[in-house]
Amino acid sequence: MSTKVATRNQAVLEAAVALASERGFRRYSRADVAQRAGVADGSVNNSYGTMNGLHDAVMQTAVERQLVPIVAAGLAERHPAACAAPQGLKDSALASLAA
């Protein structure tokens, strides 16, 4: 993978994570992500294949970065990456849902 492609993919992921943090785990569109990342809509597909692929990458990143609100949304919908998160993170995410 070229540096240009890797940089674009990272920009798309960062834009999607930021939007998920602001709006909710699945409350953003391909166009929203593309605009935030400064790329064409098709670049989102080129980076992650489908919106489901992008959502999977967002959830994995949320688990790695311990982004509790996103992980909580993932647990609510039984996303595999959220369900496989460390127990302490899951506990914090579940507590945030109960609050």
Q: Which of 36, 21, 35 is closest to 74 using CA atoms?
A: 21
Query: Count of domains in the chain?
Result: 1
Please give the structure tokens belonging to residue 72: 């909580």
* 1 pLDDT above the threshold of 80: no
Query: Do residues 69 and 21 lie in contact, with contact meaning Cβ atoms separated by under 8 Å?
Result: yes
Average pLDDT for 80-90: 97
Instruction: Give Cα separations from 79 to 25, 32, 40, 60, 73 (angstroms).
Output: 11, 22, 28, 10, 9
**CATH number of residue 9's parent domain:** 1.10.357.10
Query: Structure pTM?
Result: 0.94
Domain coverage including residue 67: 3-98
- Report, as an integer, the average pLDDT of 65-84: 97
